Structure 1
């Protein structure tokens, strides 16, 4: 068994020098208020719109076929929920542009409210 005397002994018995790290420095703006978001701007996220939800038994799920209607918990005309990576970030309404569906955001959830919902 190797003894440790101020240095770490490796598996083959060789000694490794101690490493000393410098204190972390704030590399932000002069007042510390600037944040460089460039490093995350190209990170892909999943954006999903939810029309509504429902709970059904597996028995009823297995009986669904083409033409079946499933009632959701939301009334017609209510705004859709917009999720980013599973977190509610906004509400919106469906629009059609050039024969494709889209969503017009009508209410964006504030960051403070999103953090409050995480607790």
Structure 2
């Protein structure tokens, strides 16, 4: 090799080194180490951030001075239904009904009615007439435990 070729080779090598230092490196280990250093620096910054402090929740059951105010719930409307019985009929029979037709129910005369609140059985009762208006006298109220059993 001549001196000119040597100088040209050195010049090429120096140019290649300058290109690799500008950010386009072919060294995956160097890239990984610099990335790891960046992550460690970010984690150090995150550790300096403090977490929010919350008061500990305490049970308030049985505490007479912290009674629940049920007045908030008192104005919520609910739907009451009285069920005297049920019947399954075919569409053919349903279409044949006219005024005066009798639909046979699955309950016997004298059996109590079901009082449903929003579709949930709450009580049983019997029909009464007061001042020419129908009413229901509750004969048996379903306990909350029985209602919960029926929900499951």
When normalised by structure 1's length, the TM-score is 0.75
Question: Secondary structure in 1 aligned to 2:72?
Answer: coil
**Where is the helix percentage greater, Structure 1 or Structure 2?**
2
Distance 1:41 1:96 in 2: 28
Task: Give 4+ residue runs of structure 1 displaced > 3 Å after superposition.
Answer: 20-30
For the Cα contact (< 8 Å) 1:94–1:102, is it kept in 2? Answer: yes
Is 1:71 the counterpart of 2:104? The answer is yes
The correspondence of residues 42-53 of structure 1 with structure 2, limited to 5 A, is: 42-53=75-86
When normalised by structure 2's length, the TM-score is 0.59
For the Cα contact (< 8 Å) 1:28–1:35, is it kept in 2? Answer: no
Question: Secondary structure in 1 aligned to 2:70?
Answer: coil
The C-alpha deviation readout for 1:2-30, integer Å capped at 9, x for no partner, is xxx9xxxxxxxxxxxxxx68457569566
Unpaired stretches in structure 2, ≥5 consecutive residues:
1-41, 43-51
The correspondence of residues 19-58 of structure 1 with structure 2, limited to 5 A, is: 22-23=54-55, 25=57, 31=63, 34-58=67-91
Which region of structure 1 is more displaced relative to structure 2, 27-36 or 46-55?
A: 27-36
1:86: Cα distance to partner?
A: 0.3
Question: Secondary structure in 2 aligned to 1:38?
Answer: helix
Aligned-residue CA RMSD (Å)? 2.6
For the Cα contact (< 8 Å) 1:29–1:35, is it kept in 2? Answer: no
Unpaired stretches in structure 1, ≥5 consecutive residues:
6-19
Q: How many residues were matched structurally?
A: 103
Name 1:80's counterpart in structure 2: 113
1:69: Cα distance to partner?
A: 0.5
Which region of structure 1 is more displaced relative to structure 2, 27-36 or 91-100?
A: 27-36
